Amino acid sequence: MKPKRGLMLAGLWLGVIASALAVVHTTHRSRTLTAALVDAQKERDELRFEQERLLLEKGAWSAYGRIEQVARKKLNMHMPDSDERVLVPEQ
């Protein structure tokens, strides 16, 4: 019966070693994935901040006062006088 006992003991030791290696691998993988998650969340937060900044900038650039200022200064546009207006009849 001793050979069976020794074989069983060796099998248990192999199981313990395999289980320990699996725990080490799983722990390492978990830490790696957690670090990647933290990096992705940081990038997400930075992109949200950038999006909010761009939306504010877009709002500033598309304000009616800004558009009118650019139209007058850069495009030399002006409000038409009454003699410059042309009415188009409806059909």
- Please check whether residue 37 is in contact with residue 31, taking contact to mean a CB–CB distance below 8 angstroms: no
Cβ neighbours of residue 60 closer than 8 Å, sequence gap 6 or more: 66
In a domain, 38, yes or no: yes
CA distances from 62 to 51, 59, 67 (A): 16, 5, 6
What ranges in the chain are assigned the alpha helix state H?
A: 2-61, 64-73
User: What tens digit of pLDDT does each residue of 22-70 get?
Assistant: 999 999 999 999 999 999 999 999 999 999 999 999 988 888 888 888 8
State residue 41's pLDDT score: 98
What's the whole-model pTM score?
Answer: 0.57
Domain range for residue 58? Answer: 19-77
In a domain, 70, yes or no: yes
> In the chain, how many domains are there?
1
